[in-house]
Amino acid sequence: MNLAGKHILVGISGGIAAYKIPELIRLLKKAGADVQVTTTKNALEFVTSLTLQTVSGHKVYSDVFAAINEHSTEHISLPDWADLMIIAPATANVLGKMAHGIADDALTTTFAAMRKPVVIAPAMNDKMYLSPATQQAINTLSEWDNITMLDCADGPLACGTTGKGRMQEIDVLAAAVEYALTPKTLEGKHILITAGPTQEAIDPVRYISNASTGKMGYALVRACLNRGAEVTLVSGPTHLSLKAWQAFCPLNVVDVVSSADMCNAATKAFTQADIAILCAAVADFTPCHTADKKIKKQELSIGNSQLSIELKTTTDIAATLGASKQAHQRLIGFALETHDEHANAERKLQTKNLDMIVLNSLQDKGAGFGVDTNKVTLLYANGAKKDLPLLLKQEVADTIIDSI
């Protein structure tokens, strides 16, 4: 997350989840944002003004008529300063006020003057959440163009019960801030992305795979979701997660294991896609036969210490999708090469009917598998070429999406 130069206004109302907000402020500042805080007076029963001032580096605006306010109209100057406001937790009381234009404290008067993006994270008892008045307030606010409304999460509540009413976790709030600040240039588009490695089974416990971690593909998913696209991710086995974005974005994750699984899932999803980005490191070869039991050393013939595994080529997913590509669709591939990089990438670009291919080489320091950076060259079907410097993979992903 890169929020360098952004001004974020954090609004806190009087719910127990307020104690988590200093951690959110810390994350936002770590990402480069300047953060100021406004609260209701009840919020300061759960988290102190001193704590919020310490983590934000600014005094806290909690009283419309306080003599220490820098401006007599703080509720106007703060919205003018901010690029985005996030209200977390948003209690039933505050939701009702905001939905009906009631502005009688520092938080609600500030919100009433806010015309820029606002993220709202409700939190309350499950019975209060299900109240018709609360649901009506949430629905009303959700219809406003500048608001990203998060749903409550399920789980243990402060009152001792379990149900829907918890504030979303801090990683979800941070993701929602990033999402709300990004122009929705891909709104209405459906994008297919493949990511991660595949595993080709030798027997029930062994497989052929590669060192892909999925980081580049998952960064591309974030870039597309932030721009408002509906995304289908076909992912091979990886430890990565996009649960924070799934809390509020139209993301469909299809988990697969083998190259055949990935090919089937990608082919099916491509029929509905406007753009497909094939970032997965798909195995080129798979065993001709998979043993139904673990292969034991003792089963080798006496004196034989070698085992031969017969391999066959896998289905080329890029070529398969390229053959069925329609005029309105765009198909982007990836090429990780160890030699003759440009020649190999250009051959793939032409033979697989791609519109663009992203070339990265294992010869480049800081690029390739398992690292947070990448150095790539974008090659286009019209012969154009664009070299990118070494960047964080999220920065590479953003540049790729901007270039499509």
> Do 217 and 142 share a structural domain?
no
Residue 319 belongs to domain with CATH number: 3.40.50.10300
> Do 350 and 240 share a structural domain?
yes
Got the DSSP string for 60-84?
Answer: EE--TT-TT-SSTTHHHHHHHH-SE
Return the DSSP state at 48.
Answer: -
- Rg over CA atoms, the chain: 26
Does the pTM surpass 0.75? The reply is yes
> Do 195 and 170 share a structural domain?
no
64 lies in some domain? yes
CA distances, 356 to each of 76, 230, 260 (Å): 47, 21, 24
Residue 141 backbone phi and psi in degrees, to 5: -65, -35
Amino acid occupying residue 27: L
CA distance 307 to 284: 20
Which one of 152, 159, 263, 279 is the catalytic residue?
159
CA distance 130 to 122: 12
Residue 55 CA from chain centroid, whole number: 25
> Do 211 and 160 share a structural domain?
no
8 A C-beta contact, residue 84 and residue 123: no
299 lies in some domain? no
> Do 204 and 351 share a structural domain?
yes
pLDDT for res 100: 96
296 lies in some domain? no
32 lies in some domain? yes
> Do 194 and 176 share a structural domain?
no
pLDDT for res 103: 95
Return the DSSP state at 197.
Answer: B
CA distance 92 to 122: 8
Amino acid occupying residue 327: A
CA distance 382 to 128: 58
Q: Note if 159 is an active site residue.
A: yes
Last residue of a domain, one of 146, 181, 216: 181
> Do 221 and 111 share a structural domain?
no
Residue 68 belongs to domain with CATH number: 3.40.50.1950
Quick count: other Cβ atoms within 10 Å of Cβ 247?
18
Last residue of a domain, one of 181, 204, 225: 181
47 lies in some domain? yes
Amino acid occupying residue 166: R
> Do 238 and 338 share a structural domain?
yes
CA distance 257 to 197: 8
> Do 149 and 124 share a structural domain?
yes
Q: Mind listing the pLDDT tens digit of every residue in the chain (404 residues)?
A: 789 999 999 999 999 999 999 999 999 999 999 999 999 999 999 999 999 999 999 999 998 766 455 654 667 889 999 999 999 999 999 999 999 999 999 999 999 999 999 999 999 999 999 999 999 999 999 999 999 999 998 877 777 778 788 999 999 999 999 999 999 999 999 999 999 999 999 999 999 999 999 999 999 999 999 999 999 999 999 999 999 999 999 999 999 999 999 999 999 999 999 999 999 999 999 999 999 999 887 766 656 678 889 999 999 999 999 999 999 999 999 998 778 888 999 999 999 999 999 998 777 787 777 788 999 999 999 999 999 999 999 999 999 999 88
8 A C-beta contact, residue 253 and residue 277: no
8 A C-beta contact, residue 341 and residue 385: no
CA distance 307 to 61: 72
8 A C-beta contact, residue 310 and residue 288: yes
298 lies in some domain? no
Residue with tokens 């409550």: 152
Burial of 81 (0-12, 13-18, 19+ CB in 10 A): exposed
300 lies in some domain? no
Domain encompassing residue 218: 190-287+305-403
Amino acid occupying residue 208: I
pLDDT for res 66: 60
8 A C-beta contact, residue 19 and residue 46: yes
> Do 112 and 219 share a structural domain?
no
> Do 139 and 91 share a structural domain?
yes
Start-end of H helices in 227-316: 243-246, 259-270
Domains of the chain: total:
2
Last residue of a domain, one of 156, 181, 206: 181
Report the SS3 class of residue 388.
Answer: coil
> Do 199 and 325 share a structural domain?
yes
